[in-house]
Amino acid sequence: MRVASKRFLCFVTAVLVSGVALAGCNFGSAGKNDASPASEGKQGEASAVKQVLNVSEGAEIATLDVAQISDAVSSTVLNNINEGLFRFDDKHQPILAIAQEHKTSEDALTHTFLLRDAKWANGDPVTAQDFEYGWKRVLREVGPFGVFFEMAGIANADKILQGEKKPDDLGIKAIDAKTLEVKLDRANPLFLPLLPLAPFLPQNEKFVEKAGDKYGLEYDQVLANGPFVLNDWKHEQSWQYKKNESYWDAANVQLDEINVYIVKEPSAAVNLYETGKLDRVTGLTSSLADAYKGKEDYQKVATPTTIFMRLNPDVAAFQNENIRRAIGMAIDKESLTDVVLNDGSIPLYGLVPAAFSLSPDMKDYRVLNGQLNKGTVEEAKTLWQKGLAEIGQSGLATSMIVADQEYMRQTSEYLKAQLETNLPGFKLKLKTVPFQQRIKQEKAFEYEIALSTWGPDYIDPMTYLDMWVTGGQANRMKYSNPQFDQLVAQANKELDPRKRYDILLQLEKIIIEKDAAVVPLYQYGEVILQSQKIKGLIWHPSGPEFTYKWTHME
């Protein structure tokens, strides 16, 4: 027995030692940050402020393989370590980057780009071949963002996605090392606004092939040609950028170092902000937001995620326009966003969110179209009674599927109370389901009302509009209006930006004001705390979240 217990003790010790040893290998090296020669060099100069930015992200980088990415976190990293033909400026408009000149043919089908003398971080020049290889590789690897080539209208992209042609048939060709020619299937006003996005980045063939399966999985398995290089990446913990000295525009890059920490809990992020570990935190919950209201680092940011209700036309009552309109008007959206959610969200009376798209005359889409289908509870009641009379019912008992996210649940609780109080005879049953299940049920029309969300693919109102064409894959409520379909097709051809924007404004009016087909609720907002020291940090509503190129600390 004595021997046995000794053995047991030995075992415990072994577990202890191995446990600590195992765990020990995963700590980051904390001292590393301050020892960087770059930041010391800057400190010696006139400015006493360290050009170091510390921020947080809510999730780990999924991958840095250009062909595989599909999320905002990864896009953001690529946007800052790489550069394509164009990049976004502070107004989210495409500006020349690796391309120093852009020529368009008469018919707007052939685009020729002249590349500037830029270098990869390993010393190789950035060539037209890198673009040709990179774009084709995205399609070869069946990348999730392959559809962007179709959206951009690049020749043969649609057929490649259908499997009818090979990726090598894509309409891109390196004329010589510095000249790139891109052919389009159709004249496309969306071509340039898409170019700064991740799938259109160049890829260095030599490097990619050498990295093989590991490409984009570790900090030393990516090759930079942008303002920053990735200096470190501890999975699920943090990653670190350093200034890329070999970047063609390095003279205009001021930050020496950016540390990004993964923090998943907003209250934890706020605590880290208070201790000075972070310079910027996002996603403050209602109660935290209230606690910081009025402080100078408090900001509200309207994100482009929209929340709305899909009404399944298989439910007879939802074929009645008055009933649909009444549902929209019966909800006090202001109280929902300002009191119940209180997280920076703002009410939405349309499909396209505010602070997202500017017209060619630099006016906000939302301001131009105004608040559609806004009414009072009294109007809602009248429409409701009228609608009920038309369909010969005395009330409506229906259900709504809701994804199991916190703000969705809150929203649905509020909607239930609003609709049942303001529309006599309305009974709403809430069904909480996992997110994936909500999508599945929407696609299969196994719902009556769905509390849905939509985020943009690119920065143009069309990303919220063309989903409603007849038979569109994201339509999911059998919405069909020939006039709408025809206008979408027209907008996709219209090269005059002003005329096109007019069509885009009309489209929203048709679906919301005229047909009252969808019930928009609000656009998701975020309350952030941002240190006063940060200047020139650019936040984009779609694609990459941030551009750090022009950011500096004061």
Partner 1 sequence: MRLYFLKRLGVMLTTLFIIATVTFFLMKLLPGTPYSNPDKLSEQQLASLNQKYGLDQPLPVQYARYLGNLVQGDWGVSFQFKGRLVTDIIFERIGPSVLIGFQAMVIGSIIGLGLGILSALRQNSLFDLGAVTMAVLGMSIPSFVFAALLQYYVGVKLGWLPPGLWEDYSYSILPSLALSVTVIAAVARFIRTEMLEVLTQDYILSARAKGISEFGVVWKHVVRNSLIPVVTMLGPMAVSIMTGTLVIEKIFSVPGLGEQFILSIMVNDYSVIMGITLFYSTLFILVVLLVDMIYGILDPRIREKWGEST
Partner 2 sequence: MRTLPATGTSPHEITDDLFVHEPVAAEVAMEVAASAADAPWKAALKRLGKNRGVVPAFVLIMVITVLAFVGPLLTPYTYDGQNVAHSNLPPKISGLGWLGFDGLDSNGVDLYAKRNITEAHWFGTDEFGRDMWTRVWKGTQISLLIALVAALLDLFIGVLYGGISAYYGGKIDNVMQRIIEVLVGIPNLIVIILFILILEPGITSIILAMTITGWVGMARIVRGQILQLKGQEFVLAARSLGVSNSRIMFKHLIPNAMGPIIVTLMFTLPTAIFFEAFLSFIGLGLQAPLASLGVLINDGYKGMRLFPYKLVIPAVMISLIMISFNLLADGLRDALDPKMTK
Give the residues lining the site for partner 1 (CB under 8 A).
1, 4-5, 8, 15-16, 19-20, 22-30, 60, 62-63, 65, 68-71, 142, 144, 146-147, 161-163, 213-217, 234-238, 261-265, 267-268, 271-272, 274-275, 277, 434-437, 439-440, 453-455, 457, 473-474
Which of the residues 367 through 426 are near partner 2 (CB under 8 A)? 402, 404, 406, 409-410, 412-414, 416-418, 421
In terms of Cα–Cα distance, which of 367, 197, 305, 239 is closest to 524? 305
Q: β-pairing, 257-262 with 52-57? A: parallel
- Could you tell me the two tokens for 261? 């920490």
In this complex, which beta carbon is closest to partner 1, that of residue 32 or of residue 498?
A: 32
**Residue 454's beta-bridge partner residues?**
306
Residue 120 three-state SS: coil
CB of 416 to partner 2, least distance (A): 7
CA dihedral angle for residue 120, residue 126, residue 130, residue 134, rounded to 10 degrees: 50
Given partner 1, partner 2, none, residue 24, with its beta carbon under 5 to 8 Å by kind, binds partner 1
- Could you tell me the two tokens for 526? 């975020």
Any idea which residue has 């900090």 for tokens? 219
Under 8 Å between Cβ of 449 and 309: yes
- Could you tell me the two tokens for 378? 């009294």
In terms of Cα–Cα distance, which of 238, 210, 322 is closest to 54? 238
In this complex, which beta carbon is closest to partner 1, that of residue 374 or of residue 440?
A: 440
Q: Does residue 286 touch partner 2 according to CB under 8 A?
A: yes
CB of 330 to partner 1, least distance (A): 27
Among 93, 105, 252, 287, binds partner 2 (CB under 8 A): 287
Under 8 Å between Cβ of 526 and 355: no
428 burial level (CB within 10 Å; 0-12, 13-18, 19+): buried
In this complex, which beta carbon is closest to partner 1, that of residue 28 or of residue 41?
A: 28
Distance CA 252, CA 551 (A): 10
In this complex, which beta carbon is closest to partner 2, that of residue 340 or of residue 355?
A: 340
In this complex, which beta carbon is closest to partner 2, that of residue 188 or of residue 285?
A: 285
Given partner 1, partner 2, none, residue 1, with its beta carbon under 5 to 8 Å by kind, binds partner 1
CB of 15 to partner 1, least distance (A): 8
Q: Does residue 433 touch partner 2 according to CB under 8 A?
A: yes
Among 51, 54, 74, 285, binds partner 2 (CB under 8 A): 285
Distance CA 219, CA 259 (A): 13
Q: Does residue 430 touch partner 2 according to CB under 8 A?
A: yes
CB of 454 to partner 1, least distance (A): 8
Distance CA 414, CA 316 (A): 24
Q: Does residue 290 touch partner 2 according to CB under 8 A?
A: yes
Question: Within 13 Å and on the Cβ side, how many CA atoms surround 228?
Answer: 28
In this complex, which beta carbon is closest to partner 2, that of residue 245 or of residue 406?
A: 406
Given partner 2, partner 1, none, residue 347, with its beta carbon under 5 to 8 Å by kind, binds none
Residue 446 CA: distances (Å) to CA of 312, 434, 438, 520: 9, 14, 9, 20
Q: Print the SS3 string covering 47-103.
A: CCCCCEEEEEECCCCCCCCCCCCCCHHHHHHHHHHCCCCEEECCCCCEEECCEEEEE
Q: Pattern 434-463, binding to partner 2, x per CB under 8 A?
A: x--x--------------------------
Q: Pattern 513-542, binding to partner 2, x per CB under 8 A?
A: ------------------------------
CB of 396 to partner 2, least distance (A): 19
| Residues in contact with 300: Cβ distance below 8 Å, sequence separation at least 6, in sequence order | 344, 525, 526, 527, 528
CB of 372 to partner 2, least distance (A): 23
Q: Pattern 325-364, binding to partner 2, x per CB under 8 A?
A: -------x--x---xx-x----------------------
Under 8 Å between Cβ of 51 and 552: yes
Given partner 1, partner 2, none, residue 399, with its beta carbon under 5 to 8 Å by kind, binds none
First to last CA, the chain: 69
- Length reported for the chain: 554
Distance CA 283, CA 56 (A): 11
In this complex, which beta carbon is closest to partner 2, that of residue 68 or of residue 282?
A: 282
Given partner 1, partner 2, none, residue 413, with its beta carbon under 5 to 8 Å by kind, binds partner 2
CB of 486 to partner 1, least distance (A): 22
Under 8 Å between Cβ of 269 and 529: no
Given partner 1, partner 2, none, residue 164, with its beta carbon under 5 to 8 Å by kind, binds none
In this complex, which beta carbon is closest to partner 2, that of residue 339 or of residue 474?
A: 339
Binding residues for partner 2, rule: CB under 8 A, are 267, 285-288, 290-291, 332, 335, 339-340, 342, 402, 404, 406, 409-410, 412-414, 416-418, 421, 429-434, 437
